[in-house]
Amino acid sequence: MSGFLKIAIRNLLKGPTTDPYPFGPTVIPDKLRGKLKVDAKACTACGTCEEVCPSAAIHITKNKNVYVHTTWYNTCCFCGNCEFFCPTGAIKLTNDFHTANTEAEKYKFITVATIAEVKCEKCGKYFTAPSRELLERAYPKVNESVEKFMNLCPKCRQKEAFERLHK
């Protein structure tokens, strides 16, 4: 009897446990896997996320001098493979869970990130620049001599490195 009274009084003091969500705020866990956020500056358009996505929600297409990274949420299963395998950490899953959408916006329910190509300083050819995150992964220390190669296309970079060695 006393146990029951204890619970009854505790519940009276606590108030309702109903989540007030559509009319009020709700609790969102930090680690909830929701919509993607793509950092276009860190992304190198390598295509790893497109490869590992089990439901083919991610597509990377090439326009003129620009890569377009598209994620369609109506087929995404929010597994987080893209975040796990991204070599530069450009993709992050936010805890935004608002996924309900009407039929009219079914095929427009996407996020788009555009990864611009950079013009080579020497030959003027457009190429995907290595991002800072990629350099930090490749080199133990990112200093000026490494940063100098960021704006050179692969061929010019090879040439420059070779000349530096043999002069």
Instruction: Give the interface with another protein as residue ranges (CB under 8 A).
Output: 16-19, 21-23, 26, 32, 54-56, 72-79, 97-103, 106, 109
Place of tokens 């959408």: 101
The label of the residue with tokens 């090439």 reads 62
What is the nearest approach in angstroms of another protein to the Cβ of residue 90? 23
Decide whether 49 or 156 has the Cβ nearer to another protein.
49
Nearer to another protein among residue 104 and residue 165 (C-beta): 104
Dihedral angle at the C-alpha atoms of 61, 62, 66, 71, nearest 10 degrees?
Answer: 0
Minimum separation from the CB atom of position 71 to another protein (A): 11
Answer for the pair 124, 98: CB distance below 8 angstroms, yes or no.
no
Distance of closest approach, residue 25 Cβ to another protein, in angstroms: 11
Q: Which is nearer to another protein, 101 or 145 (CB)?
A: 101
Task: Pick between residue 16 and residue 140 the one whose CB is nearest to another protein.
Answer: 16
- For strands 110-116 and 36-38, give the pairing: unpaired
Nearest distance from residue 23's CB to another protein, in Å?
8
Among 146, 151, 143, CA closest to 164:
146
111 in Cβ contact with 60 (< 8 Å): no
